[in-house]
Structure 1
Amino acid sequence: MNNNDIIYTVVFAALAILLLIAGVIITIFIAHRQKTKQEIEMAQMQLSYEKEIRTVEQEVQEQVLANFSSELHDNIGQLLTLLRLQIEQEKLDNPNDTKFAGMDDTLEMTINQVRMMSRSLNSDFIMQAGLVKALDIEINRLKQINSIQIHWDSDHSEPHLSKDQRLMAFRIFQEMLNNTLKHAKAKNIYITMKGDKQQFMLSVKDDGIGFDLNSVMNNGANGLKNIVKRAGLAQLNCDILTQKGGGCQYVIKNF
């Protein structure tokens, strides 16, 4: 074998090695792209699955709430109305009996509370009346609680949200208020809503004890996680701003 043959052999061997290396690199690159594509598809499927589950859960929940709303309005409301009629009859039959004094106002307040609660549980009413009206009714109901002051500020503009977003925003609002009343030990709750143009913002702020958000989120806090997750599935943003001794503020918005 002469020198030229040796050179050709070395060159061909080098080319073969380079081609082999290139083939391996291309194979790894293609495999990586396929894996990435599969991971993206799996993530999208997981998100779609979670949305479907949430949709079913929401439908079941709304049906249960609608049934409970109907029960409150049709049965409990009628019983309270009957009780008021009976009291009025007793007052006519016994005009000098003072034991019924003051019952009218308490009973009327109870009937109004049941009526407002029934509306707040009924998703059809929320859709027909709008988010602003639904919030007004819920806040007026809460104002009957003498142990806490409710401050309500709104531009009274119905936000440009889809049906699902309006309903989800209202249910999240109820959950935020429930958390505040249950845990915050606050004296004041400040509720603000702006729905002008294409921007929507709903804020619930309190002057309570606050908490360490990271610590609470890392140790369960299913209620808070559920609020954030439900907002995300409705394509709304949810921020929780709090610190120990500094109260807490929930903000949901569409931007």
Structure 2
Amino acid sequence: MDEKEIIVLMAIAIPVTLVIIVIVLFSVFSNRKNKLLKEQEEAKKSFERELAESQIEMREETLRNISWELHDNIGQLMTLAKIQSQLAVDQPELLAEISDTIGQGIDELRSLSKLINPEALKSLSLVEAITLEIERFNRLKFITSTLKVNGAVVPLESNKQVILFRILQEFFSNTIKHSKASNLTVTLDYTDNQLTICAKDDGIGFDDNDVFLGIGLKNMKTRAKLINSTLSINSKREQGTTLHLNYNFT
């Protein structure tokens, strides 16, 4: 093969090689793009699924709360008012107490109406929603609870707010049902770039073998990850339990 033929072959081979390289690169790019789009779609579906589950769980928790309040709180107030009214036939001085009892029952119904109205719940900010929970715990004497808010409150996307509130609601539920705690403190720290949430109880705590650690913590971490948050729960036997959650605004 002479030099001229070699040059011709190279002139043909180089463009063909370049075309092959371009095709391969395009194929790789297309595959990566399709994979990324698929992952984004799966992430979107996962978020929507978790959001829907969180909303359903919140409604179920709300209905349980309403049931408890109607039976344990408002029902008892109305029973007391009935007894007072019967006694007032012979003791008119009890009329003032009856008025106070009925007034207290009306106030409790007004507070309860905020939970019954789904539109009202949707319009609540994260701080307002947590405040309602804290007030309910104290009103029903489930646990002595306090909420502290530091920094300027930053409005959150409603969908992400639902996830954050559900994570806290699950922590509250475990605290009240299982921890035997006397006190619960929730702190929200707002900065320009981040919301840090700390919820702490003084209950009996748990260890690695507890069901809460295996199921509850897993669910909470999964939901935190969906909104690009980091979540940790630290606990020791007889030393209480603390939740730390960092949510970045950007």
**TM-score, normalised relative to structure 1:** 0.64
Cα distance in 2 for residues equivalent to 1:243 and 1:79: 37
Instruction: Report % sequence identity.
Output: 20
2:22 aligned to which of 26, 29, 33: 26
Provide the C-alpha distance between the structure 2 equivalents of 1:78 and 1:118, rounded to a whole number of angstroms. 12
Q: Map 1:108-147 to 2 at 5 A.
A: 119=114, 123-128=118-123, 130-143=125-138
Q: Deviations over 1:31-59 (max 9, x none)?
A: 11110010011112112222333444455
Give the corresponding residue for 1:193.
Answer: 188
Q: Indicate whether 1:240 and 2:238 are aligned.
A: no
1:203 corresponds to 2:212: no
Number of the residue aligned with 2:31: 35
Q: Distance in 1 between matches of 2:182 and 2:61?
A: 29
CA distance in 1, matches of 2:194, 2:79: 47
- How far 1:192 moved relative to its partner? 0.8
Q: Is the 8 A contact 2:54 2:166 kept in 1?
A: no
Q: In structure 1, what is the Cα distance between the partners aligned to 2:112 and 2:169?
A: 11
State the distance in 2 between where 1:121 and 1:172 align.
21
SS at match of 1:209: coil
Cα RMSD over matched residues?
A: 4.7
Could you tell me which runs of 5 or more consecutive residues in structure 1 were left unpaired when the two chains were aligned: 96-107
Structure 1 29/62 Cα, relative in aligned 2: closer, same or farther at 3 Å? same
* Equivalent position amino acid for 1:192 in 2: T
Alpha carbons 2:228, 2:248 under 8 Å: kept: yes
- SS of 1:200's equivalent in the other structure is strand
Q: Deviations over 1:172-206 (max 9, x none)?
A: 22112223345556565332123476753321134
**Are 1:250 and 2:240 counterparts?**
no
- Give the letter aligned to residue 135 of structure 2: N
**CA separation in 2, counterparts of 1:78 and 1:72?**
9
Give the whole-Å Cα distance in 2 for the aligned partners of 1:149 and 1:85.
27
Number of matched residues? 238
Aligned to 2:159: 164
**Which residue, 216, 232, 236 being the options, matches 1:223?**
216
Q: Mark the runs of 5 or more structure 2 residues left unpaired by the alignment.
A: 92-102
For residues 74-93 of structure 1, the aligned pairs below 5 Å read 79-92=75-88
Distance 1:60 1:23, change over 3 A: same
Range with bigger deviation, 48-57 or 29-38:
48-57
Output the CA distance in 1 between the equivalents of 2:179 and 2:90.
47
CA-CA distance at 1:18 after TM superposition: 4.7
For the residue of structure 1 that corresponds to 2:197, the secondary structure is strand
- In the alignment, residue 177 of structure 1 is paired with which amino acid? F
Instruction: Indicate which of 3, 7, 20 corresponds to 2:3.
Output: 7
Q: Is contact 2:149–2:189 with CA below 8 Å preserved after alignment? A: yes
Q: Tell which structure's C-alpha radius of gyration is larger.
A: 1
Q: Does structure 2 conserve the Cα–Cα contact (< 8 Å) formed by 1:120 and 1:138?
A: no
* Among candidates 131, 139, 148, match of residue 153 of structure 1: 148
Matched-pair contact (CA < 8 Å) for 1:190–1:205: yes
- What secondary structure sits across from 2:2 in the alignment? helix
Normalization by structure 2: what TM-score? 0.65
